Amino acid sequence: MDTILKRRSVRKWLNQSVEEEKIKTILKAAMNAPSAGNQMPWEFVVVEDQAMLEELSNSSPYAKCVAHAPVAIVVVYRTDGLRFPSYAQIDSAIAAENILLAITDLGLGGVWLGIAPEEERMEKVEKILHLENKHAFAIIPFGYSDMTLDSNDKYDEERITWYK
């Protein structure tokens, strides 16, 4: 619960690279997300190249922070050959949440930048990454946060209907 309660949207990072082992741990968390029929429609593009991060920062009006991140993971998905293609974005969302939780658990900070379902944003990212037969879902820039992440419990009884 501590990791869940500490997770925040972080858009500013220290000028420090993220170790490859931590990036691989984050990717392992993503790939262990549940998916419909275990179809695992996702793939992940790790971007550390500064010029490409700058390009990605122009893919959405909300993505400017990507230019200042030491690394970003772009979650992409395919629909070809899937048993349940209509669930590919939902499956990708679950993988993205696992990425954010792993980032937090490792003492880093990141933010989910929505690309799908906005066609224009998706096309921009797909062009930048030279994706073929795959769709851009989200950009998650991350790094060592320049702020302390305190626990923030958003539990609200008013949002629960309980039948006993």
> In this structure, which amino acid lies at residue 27?
L
- HSE of 119, CA atoms in CB hemisphere, 13 A: 0
- DSSP state string for the chain: -HHHHH--B---B-S-PPPHHHHHHHHHHHHTS--GGG---EEEEEE--HHHHHHHTTSSTT-GGGGG-SEEEEEEE--TT-SSGGGHHHHHHHHHHHHHHHHHHTT-EE--EE-TT-HHHHHHHHHHTT-SS-EEEEEEEEESBSS---------GGG-----
Cis peptide bond prior to 117, omega within 30° of 0: yes
- pLDDT tens for 25-78 read 999 999 999 999 999 999 999 999 999 999 999 999 999 999 999 999 999 999
Which fold is adopted by the domain 1-159?
NADH Oxidase (3.40.109)
76-86 average pLDDT score:
95
What the block records as the tokens of 56 is 């990605």
pLDDT band at residue 20 under the 50/70/90 scheme: very high
What the block records as the tokens of 119 is 């066609």
9-26 average pLDDT score:
96
Is pLDDT at 148 greater than 90 in this prediction?
no
Contact residues for 83 (Cβ-Cβ < 8 A; gap 6+): 36, 37, 39
Is pLDDT at 147 greater than 90 in this prediction?
no
Is pLDDT at 101 greater than 90 in this prediction?
yes
pLDDT score of 124: 97
- Hey, which residues does 45 pair with through a beta bridge? 74
Percent of the chain with pLDDT over 90: 89
Is pLDDT at 160 greater than 80 in this prediction?
yes
